[in-house]
Structure 1
């Protein structure tokens, strides 16, 4: 078992569906492509797998021939990002990648304006939508900022720790997702949307090749969604421990503290500082792993309950309904 199977809010699937409907496309076809039941879109508590969101976006790109998914007021034909990426892989370093990215999109679209700047301490990648009223769920801004962060990081083969991410809109209802999307504090009501990181990283060389890029693009956008495992230090360590094997019930808080060479009191204080608790972390791990396992066709619910450390299927069902608003049986159906 791996916590790589982090889940994402159904908010993003709903945003893709709403944009498709507003342009006259059938949402049924899109949902079928991603194995998402349309009824799930009605609940804010539902979460889906990264695979489902990736399949949904890929289907929308192909159906609508618009990489902006109808959320920008103007379209960008499917394949434009690939063209940019095939040029970016030949850049010398991270600074060159960001400069190329901005030049490319500022030349080929009026959907938004990109700008990149840096000083001795911080680098800043900014964007401003020309017609933000089309991005009513903030899906496009979220996705593009994610893309401007994750793809350059892949090109240089290094994580890019962010100092902060900033949005030009008020704090949205789905703001809890940002701790998964961006490994840094989030801020709102700014003049534009942007993120900052250390200028020291700008000299990192591009290590990918045209051949590795082909594989990366064939998987897109899945890899960008699956790398959502950005949690504070001790939360991350506990999640890794809980999901390192198939037995959630095998780990107790005392044992985890001992494995991290600290007392339970110290670890509990660290978690309080990170605004969480052991039970909350355990529930997150169980919930997201349950959603991943329920997407496997031939895995019985009773087996999933046992794998997650529940004594019986009804106990698991009650917990799952509390997390998502639906029963495991309904979700699997």
Structure 2
């Protein structure tokens, strides 16, 4: 299995520091990286330039060549080799999981069979899932940054591929000083990156863990024929988008009064918002109706506010249109619902 393309192709944005880390892997095994560098069209002069960058395609070609030539998918990071196919084995071992949470736990457990130099663990608290790396032995400083970054990228990329969805990260942390190429971290992970942290971590919404896997063995074989497609930017659909829209409609209704305003809060275009909701089998109007229904039921059950005030509070212009909609939702007029107290 080849390495993930770290960033968008065509632009030279992948730090040369990562290329030099691969060259250090060759040095560890007493081998010459010349052919690998040539396959990626990286000259020795470029390799020596401190602030140089390479494209994702160059980095992918270099990684694939190096992993096969060294027969080490860890590229020299660990105390023993991870033979060619090791990460493919991790993917296959997790593929039959019923949901993403189980898949991640299997990945973490099986990773220990490959190396004990680092440990991966999933923690969940307060609605946030965190994937954490524990360094069980000191990693060579020549490899440490590249090892921790790549290990999290592999994991994040596999997660996105497995559920066929972009997984938006809340934050990422790293246990080293911010490198000169720190600007590359936002495209790789999230703008919310913190350095000099206790451990390397990525955090995301816990609800992704409940999503079912969308891939099968055939899809896995196709994926493993090329670079592990963990370029996160290609996953434009977020399978939790509907839930995120619902939350904003409940908690920030005044700011999310139009599709354009809501799209702005989600950092997508209005067209993208409608398209992705359609792909999830819903629509903005459907979600608005669901939220209005939920809020109306809460208001009618828990308060004594006049029906007109309830109507305005949940987004209707007048009591008449609210009563008509509520009757369609529940089969009851708002006053009858309040008096009888039926379950919705």
- Is the counterpart of residue 165 in structure 1 residue 172 in structure 2? yes
**Aligned to 1:5, which of 2, 5, 10?**
10
Choose from 188, 207, 215 the match for 2:195: 188
- Measured after TM superposition, the shift of residue 108 of structure 1 is 3.2
- Given that 2:24 and 2:142 are in contact with CA atoms closer than 8 Å, whether structure 1 keeps it comes out as no
Q: Is the 8 A contact 1:165 1:195 kept in 2?
A: yes
Within 5 Å, give how 1:45-84 maps onto structure 2.
45-84=51-90
Equivalences for residues 64-143 of structure 1 within 5 A? 64-137=70-143, 138-143=145-150
Shift in alpha-carbon separation, 1:172–1:46, aligned structure 2, 3 A: closer
Moved more, 183-192 or 139-148: 183-192
- Bigger Rg, which one: 2
Aligned-residue offset at 1:93? 1.1
Q: Is the 8 A contact 1:74 1:110 kept in 2?
A: no
Q: Is the 8 A contact 1:163 1:185 kept in 2?
A: yes
Which of structures 1 and 2 has the larger relative contact order (alpha carbons within 8 angstroms, sep 6+)?
A: 1
For residues 194 and 37 of structure 2, the distance between their equivalents in structure 1, rounded to whole angstroms, comes to 32
What is the CA distance between 1:177 and its match in structure 2? 0.9
2:139 is paired with a residue whose SS is helix
Compute the displacement of 1:120 (Å). Answer: 4.1
Cα displacement (A) at 1:122:
0.4
Shift of 1:126: 0.6
Tell me the secondary structure at the aligned position of residue 230 of structure 2.
helix
Indicate the RMSD between aligned Cα atoms, in angstroms. 2.5
Aligned-residue offset at 1:71: 1.5
Q: Does 1:206 align with 2:213?
A: yes
What CA distance in whole angstroms lies between the structure 1 residues aligned with 2:216 and 2:11?
28
Alignment deviations for residues 270-327 of structure 1 (CA, whole Å, 9 cap, x no partner):
9xxxxxxxxxxxxxxxxxxxxxxxxxxxxxxxxxxxxxxxxxxxxxxxxxxxxxxxxx
* Residue among 230, 242, 247 paired with 1:224: 230
Alignment correspondent of 1:154: 161
Corresponding residue for residue 25 of structure 2: 19
Pairwise CA distance, 1:6: 4.1
2:41 partner SS: coil
Structure-2 residue corresponding to 1:288: none
Structure 1 pair 147–135 and aligned structure 2 pair: CA distance change class (3 A): farther
Q: Distance in 2 between matches of 1:191 and 1:95?
A: 24
Q: 1: CA distance between counterparts of 2:156 and 2:11?
A: 18
Report what 2:293 is aligned to.
none
Which 4+ runs in 1 deviate beyond 4 A? none
SS of residue in 1 equivalent to 2:201: strand
- Tell me the matched-pair count: 231
Cα deviation 1:137-166 (Å, max 9, x = unaligned): 511111111111111111001111111101
Distance 1:27 1:44 in 2: 18
Partner of 1:163, secondary structure, is strand
Q: How far did 1:58 drift?
A: 0.9
Structure 1 unaligned spans of 5+: 231-260, 263-269, 271-333
Structure 2 CA distance for aligned equivalents of residues 65 and 155 of structure 1: 26
What is the CA distance between 1:30 and its match in structure 2? Answer: 1.2
Rounded Cα–Cα distance in structure 2 between residues aligned with 1:199 and 1:226 = 18
Q: Provide the rounded CA distance (Å) in 2 between the counterparts of 1:217 and 1:71.
A: 22
